[in-house]
Amino acid sequence: MTKKLVSVAAIIVGIAASVSHAHAEDLVFTLKNATSSTLERFYTSPSGVDDWEDDVFGQDVLEPGQSIKITIADGRSVCKYDMRFEFTEDSNLDTTEDTQDLCKMGSYTIHE
């Protein structure tokens, strides 16, 4: 019985360690919209990857003057990300792209 208890405890410790390790790689930052237009879509992708990941906002948008906490939980230990910002059709702003080391930044502000 004691061997089984030790084995179960070892498995639980292993699972807990892997879960905490996955959370350690989550990249969290605040995105601020300092433009006069609604940010409709926001895409990120690690630098060097040719395709954009899914739209981070989904059905949401980021209105002028608002900010949102973004969590990139892709399991990668990457800091440098390409970003693509798409505004509403009635906006006078063009789609904008930028590359930043998001680990060094607690926030990113999109300007006109």
Contact predicate 57/71, CB 8 Å: no
The pLDDT value recorded for residue 7 is 44
Beta bridge partners, 104, equal none
What the chain holds in terms of domains, given with CATH numbers, is 26-110 (2.60.40)
In whole angstroms, give the CA distance from residue 112 to residue 80. Answer: 22
DSSP assignment letter at 53: -
Please choose, from the candidates 27, 28, 31, the residue with its C-alpha nearest in 3D space to the C-alpha of residue 85.
31
Q: From first to last of the 112 residues of the chain, give the pLDDT tens digit.
A: 544 444 444 444 444 444 434 445 788 999 999 999 999 999 999 998 989 989 999 999 999 999 999 998 888 888 999 999 999 999 999 999 999 999 898 899 999 9
Q: Is 19 left (phi over 0), alpha (psi -120 to 50) or beta?
A: alpha
